[in-house]
Amino acid sequence: MPLVVSREISSGVEQDPDQLVADLYTVHASGLHRYLLLTGSRPADADELLQDAFLRLFRCVRDGEQIEKPKAWLIRTLQNLRTDWARRESGHGLLMRNVGARGDLAWSSPDRGPEAAMIDHQRFERLRAAMGSLTERQHQYVLMRSEGMTLREIASVHGVTVQSVAETCARAIERLGKLTNE
């Protein structure tokens, strides 16, 4: 029975499916959870989506499917799960749903004075508004890049060319720069 080939985990030895998925979870879960939060999932929803994605991964591994790039596979699965979930929730998109609450956490620090906190809050609000003006694809690409994914990995997940991802990211970053400058 062939198992997932993972460059992140590979030891050159076939692993038990339980252990392989556990290893992949250890390596990728926190980054994928952060990705879900940054793309608008509520924390409880992100937990459930992540659990569903890893359950699907386990079933695929157990059934002997080959998965060359598990991180890209997991992201694509999470996007599909979230899309299905959004359709069930009366068709409203989940992007930016929870950004305000995350922003409150990001700019409030007890070590900073009230003036610095207010400046940070204003910057965050400009960034939130600018991110909201991006297309859904631009938003996804920028967040994936911020999570450390390469242009090639993003292209693979979305089934587009690396050049297309690069151009989309460049347009998004240019737009963000124009909209966030004071």
pLDDT digits (tens, 9 = 90+) for 27-38: 999 989 988 888
> Are 81 and 104 part of one and the same domain?
no
Q: Give a yes or no: residue 7 inside a domain.
A: no
Q: How far is it, in rounded angstroms, from Cα 88 to Cα 69?
A: 29
82 and 108 belong to one structural domain: no
What pLDDT is recorded for position 89? 59
Determine, yes or no, domain membership for 119: yes
121-176 pLDDT, tens per residue? 777 777 777 777 888 888 888 888 877 788 888 888 888 999 999 999 889 888 88
Domain that residue 34 falls in: 17-88
Residue 88 has what pLDDT? 61
pLDDT in tens, 38-89: 877 888 888 999 999 999 999 998 888 888 889 889 988 998 888 777 666 5
111 band by pLDDT with thresholds 50, 70 and 90 = low
Q: What is the CATH number of the domain that holds 154?
A: 3.40.50.2300
Q: Which of 121, 117, 32 is nearest to 78 (CA)?
A: 32
95 or 75, greater pLDDT: 75
Q: Output the pTM of the full model.
A: 0.52
CA distance 49 to 82: 7
In a domain, 72, yes or no: yes
Q: Do the beta carbons of residue 72 and residue 156 sit within 8 Å? A: yes
pLDDT of residue 131: 79
Out of 42, 61, 88, pick the residue that ends a domain: 88
Tally Cβ neighbours within 10 Å of residue 75: 26
Instruction: Tally the domains of the chain.
Output: 2
Domain at 54, CATH number? 1.10.1740
User: Do 136 and 74 belong together in one domain?
Assistant: no
Q: Pick the more confident residue, 174 or 8.
A: 174
Q: Tell me: do 84 and 103 sit in the same domain.
A: no
Distance (Å, whole) CA 3 – CA 68: 10
